[in-house]
Structure 1
Amino acid sequence: MQHLPFSVDLRLRTQHLSIGEMTGGVADDVLRQEVHPGKWSAIDNIAHLAVFHPIFQRRLQRVADEETPLFEPYVWQEDALFAEYRKLSNRELLVQYRHDREAFVRFVEGLKAGDFRRQGRHQAYGTVSAAQLIEMFVLHESHHLFTIFKLLNFGK
């Protein structure tokens, strides 16, 4: 995608693969363990990341269609898709994740050059361009990937 920095494009296309590399050989009961009571398990983190594909796709579509739309904050407790995804086995979730990522990448590839410069408003971060939203997406994903890595390797 020539309208994104090389590293953002590369991470968008490949970063998610590390989820399967980290968790593919781990039993579901281990992935569901709450290492820290009341905090998300590894599978919860994966489910959370998976639901962000359609959320960010809708946000990007709004940026393309509307004049500086305001994005409501994400509330995981009210997200029915998150509740559904966190019940899946890791294998099922990884398949869904790959499918959703492929659809998201196709959507981003279909954006027009001018769409990447169009803007929306995020309640926490202010005015952001579509290109910045995509970078936020991959940075948000990397944060949770590191959390999953720590939970599986260090119990932190």
Structure 2
Amino acid sequence: MHHLPFSLELRLRTQYLSLGEMTGPVSDEILRQEVHPGKWSALDNIAHLAVFQPIFQRRLQRVADEETPLFEPYAWQEDETFAAYRNLTNRELLAQYRHDREAFIRYVDGLKESDFKRKGRHAVYGSLNVHQLIEMFVLHESHHLFTIFKLLNFGK
């Protein structure tokens, strides 16, 4: 992963570990509580992170395989995997999340310098190179980690 800035590489390799540290000791019952009616619970956010990681890896693969592919925004309402993951336990989600992150890191580790210059287009955010896409992924993950932290500690 020598083609990424140090901070991005470090966050990609370690940030996800905070999910287990934050939620591992918390019961599924608490994680499933809908703190704000109609909004995602902490477990819903965990399920989303677990579902989105392989989706994002497939997006990077499309950038490698296609000339500037277009990515539509993720629509959780239409995602059958997300619906299924919402019924899993936190332990199951964390195991899947760790497994998929290891695969994601291996994928990024295998990218060549020229791969980082390739681009994809996001329907909302526009044209992004692979480096920017990975940064976007890590920041997206961070947003959900912070949301989970708030739900568990402040009920917000």
CA–CA separation in structure 1 for the residues paired with 2:9 and 2:52: 17
Cα deviation code 1:104-136 (max 9, x no counterpart): 111111112111110010011000001111010
Could you tell me which runs of 5 or more consecutive residues in structure 2 were left unpaired when the two chains were aligned: none
Q: Percent identity?
A: 79
CA–CA separation in structure 2 for the residues paired with 1:116 and 1:56: 15
CA RMSD after TM alignment:
0.7
Could you tell me which runs of 5 or more consecutive residues in structure 1 were left unpaired when the two chains were aligned: none
CA–CA separation in structure 2 for the residues paired with 1:101 and 1:12: 9
- Give the structure-1-normalised TM-score: 0.98
Cα deviation code 1:50-102 (max 9, x no counterpart): 11111111110111111111112210011111111111101111111100100
| AA matched with 1:42 | A
Q: Work out the number of aligned pairs and report it.
A: 156
Which residue number in structure 1 is paired with residue 57 of structure 2?
57
- Give the structure-2-normalised TM-score: 0.98
Which residue number in structure 2 is paired with residue 69 of structure 1?
69
CA–CA separation in structure 1 for the residues paired with 2:107 and 2:117: 16
Runs of 4+ in 1 over 3 A off after TM superposition: none
Matches within 5 A, 1:26-41: 26-41=26-41
